[in-house]
Amino acid sequence: MGTGEELDRTAVRKRLKPEVSGVVLEAMDQGWRVKALGHGVKLFCPCVQPDHGTFSVSGTPKSPTNEARRVRKMLSRCPKFGS
């Protein structure tokens, strides 16, 4: 899996820590796209609005719990997430 490839659910589970992959999989269910980015992934919002269009997720975070919390916070900025 090279950088820039769009990932499926299985690839996300393999690439990220369980705490983080759970949140990313929820985002995928809401229409977010996920692409490979080094050791992590990049999420692309289905809304494509300037204030929350894309962001990176670490594949090897120092604290997976904090990374999952950060991802969930970023996702909450999208009006489609959680609705």
Whether 3 is covered by a domain: the verdict is no
Whether 32 is covered by a domain: the verdict is yes
Judge whether residue 2 has pLDDT over 90. Answer: no
Please state the rounded mean pLDDT for residues 33-60.
Answer: 85
Whether 81 is covered by a domain: the verdict is no
Whether 4 is covered by a domain: the verdict is no
Could you list the residue range(s) of the whole structural domain that residue 36 is in? Answer: 9-75
Whether 33 is covered by a domain: the verdict is yes
Predicted pLDDT of residue 82 = 57
- Domains: count for the chain: 1
Report the run of H or E that residue 57 belongs to, with start and end: strand 54-57
Question: How far, in Å, CA of 56 to CA of 74, rounded?
Answer: 10
Q: Are residues 28 and 43 in contact, defined by beta-carbon separation less than 8 angstroms?
A: no
Whether 35 is covered by a domain: the verdict is yes
Judge whether residue 1 has pLDDT over 60. Answer: no
